[in-house]
Amino acid sequence: MEAAMQTVETRKWDVAGIGLSVLCAIHCLSVPFLMGVLPLVGLDFVADHGFEWVMMSLIFAVAGLSYFNGYRRHGRKAIFTFLAVGMIIFAGIRPVLEEGLHPVATILGGCVFVLGHWKNWHWHKPSCRKPCCSHD
């Protein structure tokens, strides 16, 4: 029963991670179009680079927690490849690109995280026969 509850918790983290990645992509695509409106409605902080780093940090933390919990269930180390590649794109490649390419890098990095969450969820199927699993 405890393993079933942990599986539900892992799925919740995966859904939260997918949601954060999608929000990040929406943010990245919409802010350039809303730059003139954001200060008028008191949301000018959304266009700040500090806000972007906070969002990326949340994405990294949720993905790390979710992937680690998933790894404990399905045992596939490949899940951490998604975390590493996504972090490299967001924190390593994106900052050195010209401003016009930031949306491309953000969307690519977000897609890597979404794919990782999907794989994490998919790899722990109800057909799992490991002793830690309880799919009753």
pTM confidence score? 0.72
For the chain, domain boundaries: 2-123
Closest CA to 47 of 99, 125, 104: 99
Name the residue with higher pLDDT: 134 or 76: 76
pLDDT(76) > 60: yes
Q: Which amino acid is at 55?
A: M
pLDDT(135) > 50: no
Closest CA to 10 of 127, 124, 103, 86: 124
Task: Round to whole Å and give the CA distance between 32 and 117.
Answer: 28
Task: Round to whole Å and give the CA distance between 63 and 83.
Answer: 7
At residue 127, the pLDDT reads: 54
Burial classification of residue 50, based on how many CB atoms lie within 10 Å of its CB (0-12 exposed, 13-18 middle, 19 or more buried): exposed
Q: What is the share, in percent, of the chain residues with pLDDT greater than 90?
A: 12
Q: What's the chain's average pLDDT? A: 76
